[in-house]
Structure 1
């Protein structure tokens, strides 16, 4: 287990590093809305399969009469679109407070679907942090210039180094406007050896939320299904 006394010391060091910067994240131009940086593999399967310009019924692929039809995202609010998509992605689109027994690997069930335990984040929050730290990268030029996705991993590497705890960036099964990625602490295959104690987890969570400017209520660590 990781030493529970390390985060407070690390946090002080990070705060001093922030103070030494001549500019902060807000002075760099505020938040950066990152749109379209996800690859096709990172987006929910339903979003890739549907053709909104065709005349076919949008719910033809839903496979269940109990589910509402998937609407054209151009004609509904983001909230409504994501509500319906979450229903269609069940049970894999919802975060879980605990690991279901059927996803705990056993000799009888050695390869269950993968879940990770961690914090949901947006690519915008990660890129802001990478830019503040001076490790952000771009691709393209002029009007085609956009954030390089490798910047998101660099941001997680910084957090991991500050906390002295291994973290990884994963793609959730269902991509939502408030959940582009998951910062993984451990998963259902390694949690027995990688999970830390509750006090350290709580302190590490608060540190990450503070560094990335996350809403504490909606970014508590949970179990998430990931894209495979």
Structure 2
């Protein structure tokens, strides 16, 4: 069984993965910014970890000891048109979704490299390859994350470290409902916001997503990119077939 460090384990996808891996006998190191939010999560160890803070990351990784698998899950999203989204919010998303993920990976990689084994699993999204209207700041942070993951996968494979990117479509984790929204009914882009529900067809459950990740951990032949859910597979297939000369539209917008 593996010792697995999970970031953002207090709720949603991270919590679901922690529960599933614990059921399977793995040693879960559950982490979150608010340590008390981990009280009811089955884990071998619970640690405070803020991925945007280097001392916090260093302290948590030191306390965790050997980490066989890192599941880099901490993240957030927003709803806002690019014309008016506060740049501070875009910076916050990159600090959390992109730089935070790299920060934790950098902290665990030396021990994995020296040991000659390890796995880093980044929780991305179909929006790591598709930009959806009004969620483009989030997509940009995930596109950047996938660039980091792809480069990292090439660099560390020689040292016995594997890297995977999981790309779900919509997940019924509550993340979309918790997103900050920076437009109201008087905003000229508001009619587009009302149609975003069409992009959340066939959401996968947290349990379904956690099962895919847990199955991948025991599998030594997992591909670099792992789409999760029928909708994700269909959207990414459609994106691949679309001409590169035009922006990809996953569904019609009528307003």
Higher helix proportion: 2
Fold agreement, TM-score > 0.5: no
Interval of TM-score (by shorter of Structure 1 and Structure 2): under 0.3
Q: Could you say which structure has the larger radius of gyration?
A: 1
TM-score (norm 2): 0.24
Higher strand proportion: 2
TM-score (norm 1): 0.26
